[in-house]
Chains A and B, each alone.
Chain A
Amino acid sequence: MKPSHNGPRWLNLFSFASPMQFYPLAGRLIPLFMTTALLFCAVGLWLGFAIAPGEAQQGEGYRIIFLHVPTSWMAMFIYIVMAFWSVMHLALRTRLSAMMAQALAPTGALMAFLSLLTGALWGKPMWGTWWVWDARLTSMLLLFFLYLGFIALTRSIDEPDRADKAGSVLAIVGVFNVPVIYFSVKWWNTLHQGASISMENGSSMASTMLIAMLVMSLAAWMHSIAACLSRVRTLILQREGHTRWVKERIAQGEK
């Protein structure tokens, strides 16, 4: 399919659906997202760990929130994005969409894992236990397994087209778990505390804490975008290895 030439090509966003066009763009964007991630991370850590006051009930132990909440949000959000790209792949048959979903999954799995781990480290001193089988924790664990399942499924099928299709279906089916995680603290009586920020009640935190948490979340976003773009570039090289443009890039000493 030829891109239309009615206007300047950089205006035609759909041209970036082609791996050949997207590859150099992603390469230029990665350092940008990485620097902003580091910047936000530095500011967020400074605010959260050096400036923000202690909390009335949990003392200094609450500071795990600055790691726990951003990783949890990211784990849920990445899955939604993954499902979005999967729908795009099934609907539009764009190869890049499926590659995006596969590039996102490892970061999502890592975020879910870190969310569970920091949660356990927070639960031990506050609840007296590392783990309980309550709705919030169990649905988060399920999310982690969904990520692992997606990665295992897409990697176990050798034929890229079939792997893409199977992965897309799994990602879309699993997305219904995300609202369950989000609303679990409302729907069931859980040990996990309610949302720190909600649509109806706004925030229940002191402003410095809230700002630190939001800045850390932005850092997690930027990191995830950078990691996903890096991974998708490798995937593109792998999948398009037979094409002339990849061969030329390799010959020119791609690093």
Chain B
Amino acid sequence: MFATLYWASFSDFIHMGGYGLYVWGSFLACVLGLGMEWLLIRQQRKQVIQHLRRMALAEEMEDEGYEHSSLL
């Protein structure tokens, strides 16, 4: 039941009985949409981590600065 291909040829598969544009258009839209979602998720995460790293660095430098000034 799940092993017999419905299509006689590859071009039939692409053609989709005349609905190729609509069927593959929907498919492409979904692929692009989901792909974009994952890209945005990754990008946002990188941005947040980079920001936190900078904050940590700034804090470290501030601490050092304080130590030096206390020596005077």
Contact = CB atoms under 8 A, between A and B. Distances in A.
Interface of A: 47, 49-54, 59-61, 63-64, 67-68, 71, 106-107, 110, 113-114, 117-118, 121-122, 124-125, 208, 223, 227, 230-231, 233-234, 237-238, 241, 246-247, 250-251, 254-255
B22 A61 contact: yes
Contacts of A107: 37
A234 to B, nearest CB: 5
B51 to A, nearest CB: 8
Contacts of B58: none
A60 B23 contact: yes
B6 A51 contact: yes
Contacts, number: 97
B29 A114 contact: yes
Q: Dominant SS at the B interface?
A: helix
Contacts of A208: 1-2
A118 B26 contact: yes
A117 B52 CA distance: 38
Nearest to A211: B2
B52 to A, nearest CB: 5
Nearest to B29: A117
A125 B22 contact: yes
18 contacts: A51-B4, A59-B17, A59-B18, A60-B17, A60-B23, A61-B17, A61-B19, A61-B22, A63-B23, A67-B27, A114-B30, A122-B22, A237-B45, A238-B48, A241-B52, A247-B56, A251-B56, A254-B49
A254 B40 CA distance: 18
A-B complex: 10 closest residue pairs judged by Cβ atoms: A61-B19, A60-B17, A118-B26, A60-B16, A59-B17, A234-B45, A121-B22, A121-B26, A64-B26, A250-B52
